[in-house]
């Protein structure tokens, strides 16, 4: 199974500042046939289901604010929130869909400093 | 509006069974792969199973293979997960999620979840 390890486990950032969350995969999720990274990012607010933010490592879902961006390739990925807003308080998960079983990172809890 | 609504959770004794349902609306159910994911209290998300759009192909996580069965009724726009031989560690919120038109795709939309508690 592919293991995803996120860092840090928790993060406190001031409003308006940048938040960066990392996700490292135990093996590459870059598919050679199409050069796509099979990596997604989700946001989960308290008491709610996860919400898809980013797919294919860097493709923003419709309706997601522009301050959310994804980057990386192969085994190392980053979710960046460029200017933290109060409504961004949540747990963020990376997920690989390169191979079954699809696996998630342990989550990063983002709070306001 | 795309909606996925799970039901069927509850309290069950170890060794017992439950059937979870996920009724979908707002999209063409027969087009998409569907998944079940669970989240134990304070724990990470864990993918459990997937089923193809026509129901002919299924895949399971090792932790539930042989105990859980995924199925779908395309005429009723409903996804199911039959849980058997339940263990205390199966206690979790169970989510259904809509995948893509191919098996290797992300989980675009999620239901609100249904809580399964396994306890004596």
Which candidate from A38, A52, A104 shows the least CB-CB separation from B108? A52
Taking CA–CA distances from A62, the nearest residue in chain B reads B108
Please report the pLDDT score of residue A66 as a whole number: 96
- Interchain pair B105, A97: CB under 8 A: yes
Task: Among B6, B33, B44, B92, pick the best mutation site for testing chain A contact (most A Cβ within 10 A).
Answer: B44
Rounded Cα distance between B53 and B56, Å, is 8
Rounded Cα distance between B60 and B34, Å, is 12
- Chain A residues closer than 8 Å to B59 by CB: 100
The DSSP secondary structure of chain A, one letter per residue, reads: ---EEEE-SEEEE-TTS-EEEEEEESS--EETTTTEE-EEEEEE-TTS--EEEEETTTEEPTT--TTEEEEEETTEEEEEESS--GGG-EEEEEEE-SSSSPEE---EEEEE-
Task: Tell me the percentage of chain B whose pLDDT exceeds 90.
Answer: 98
- Chain A residues closer than 8 Å to B115 by CB: none
Q: Region B21-34: what's the mean pLDDT?
A: 97
- Interchain pair B107, A40: CB under 8 A: yes
- Interchain pair A50, B44: CB under 8 A: no
Q: Whole-number mean pLDDT of chain B?
A: 97
Over the range A96-106, which residues count as b (16 or more CB within 10 Å of their CB) and which as e? bbbebbbbbbb
Q: Band of the pLDDT at A87, cuts 50, 70, 90?
A: very high
Please report the pLDDT score of residue B110 as a whole number: 98
Q: What is the pLDDT of residues B43-85, one digit of tens each?
A: 999 999 999 999 999 999 999 999 999 999 999 999 999 999 9
Q: What is the pLDDT of residues A37-77, one digit of tens each?
A: 999 999 999 999 999 999 999 999 999 999 999 999 999 99
Please report the pLDDT score of residue B34 as a whole number: 98
Please report the pLDDT score of residue B107 as a whole number: 94
Rg of chain B in Å (alpha carbons) = 13
Q: What is the pLDDT of residues A2-31, one digit of tens each?
A: 999 999 999 999 999 999 999 999 999 999
């Amino acid at each position: 199974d592919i293991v995803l390890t996120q860092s840090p486990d928790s993060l406190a950032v001031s409003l308006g500042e940048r938040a960066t969350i990392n996700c490292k995969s135990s093996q590459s999720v870059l598919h050679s046939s199409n050069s796509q990274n099979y990596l997604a990012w989700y946001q989960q607010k308290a008491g709610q289901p996860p919400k898809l933010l980013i797919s294919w490592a860097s493709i923003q879902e419709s309706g997601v604010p522009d301050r959310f961006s994804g980057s990386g390739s192969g085994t190392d990925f980053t979710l960046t929130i460029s200017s933290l807003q109060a409504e961004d308080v949540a747990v963020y998960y990376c997920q690989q869909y390169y191979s079954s079983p699809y696996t998630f990172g342990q989550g990063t809890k983002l709070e306001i400093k | 509006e795309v909606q996925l609504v799970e039901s069927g959770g509850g309290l069950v004794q170890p060794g017992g069974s439950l059937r979870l349902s996920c009724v979908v609306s707002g999209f063409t159910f027969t087009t998409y792969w569907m998944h079940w994911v669970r989240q134990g209290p304070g724990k990470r998300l864990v993918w459990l199973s997937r089923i193809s759009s026509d129901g002919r192909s299924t895949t399971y996580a090792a932790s539930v293979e042989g105990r859980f069965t995924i199925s779908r009724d395309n005429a009723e726009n409903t996804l199911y997960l039959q849980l058997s031989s339940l263990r205390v560690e199966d206690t979790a919120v169970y989510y259904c999620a809509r995948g893509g038109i191919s098996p290797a795709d992300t989980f675009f939309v999620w239901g609100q979840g249904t809580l399964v508690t396994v306890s004596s």
